[in-house]
Amino acid sequence: MHEWAATVERLTDRYGEDYKGAWHPVVGPFLAVVSEAMSIEESGGSVRASLVTEVDRQRIIMSRYLQGRH
């Protein structure tokens, strides 16, 4: 989970919002599905295809949102 925490910190530093301490309606769902996928991998499991698809979908949504903030 270190990688997940580092990602959250980078987003917080770059965009100036506390994505770790406060739920964000766009960034939060992305971080949640990434956390779920990482947890499965860290426990030795295989991430199901539907979760991989959801990670990709949420990444696109979040990226569009964050690009609009510049």
pLDDT digits (tens, 9 = 90+) for 11-70: 899 988 888 888 999 999 999 999 999 999 999 999 999 999 999 999 999 999 999 875
**pTM to 2 decimal places:** 0.86
User: Using CA atoms, how far apart are residues 36 and 15, in angstroms rounded to an integer?
Assistant: 23
Using alpha carbons only, give the angle 44, 47, 48 rounded to the nearest 5 degrees: 140
CA dist 26 and 58 (Å) reads: 8
C-alpha span between 69 and 21 (Å, rounded): 20
SS3 category, 24: coil
Q: Where are the domains of the chain?
A: 2-67
Q: CA-to-CA distance for 38 and 47, rounded, in angstroms? A: 8
